[in-house]
Amino acid sequence: MALLEIKFWELDDFNAGTKSAEGRCAWGGSSCTKKPEFTVTDRTGANIGACEVHTLTYIRDRLRNGA
């Protein structure tokens, strides 16, 4: 079991100059050009903007690898 931290994306969740603050999905790597729909929290506690596709990837990662 893993603790998942997911909420709707908000600009205030990110530092200026980050990919997520620019309104791009950061979970999918540099090749993802979709807009983030959600903010997810990674294992280090960092907020990351994630599109609907990569939010599912986040969920799979957390369930496989734990917190």
Contact between 22 and 16 under an 8 Å Cβ cutoff? The reply is no
Mean pLDDT, consecutive 10-residue stretches, the chain (67 aa), reads 88 83 83 91 88 93 82
pLDDT in tens, 48-67: 999 999 999 999 988 988 76
Q: Is the pTM of this model over 0.85?
A: no
pLDDT at position 67, please? 62
pLDDT at position 27, please? 86
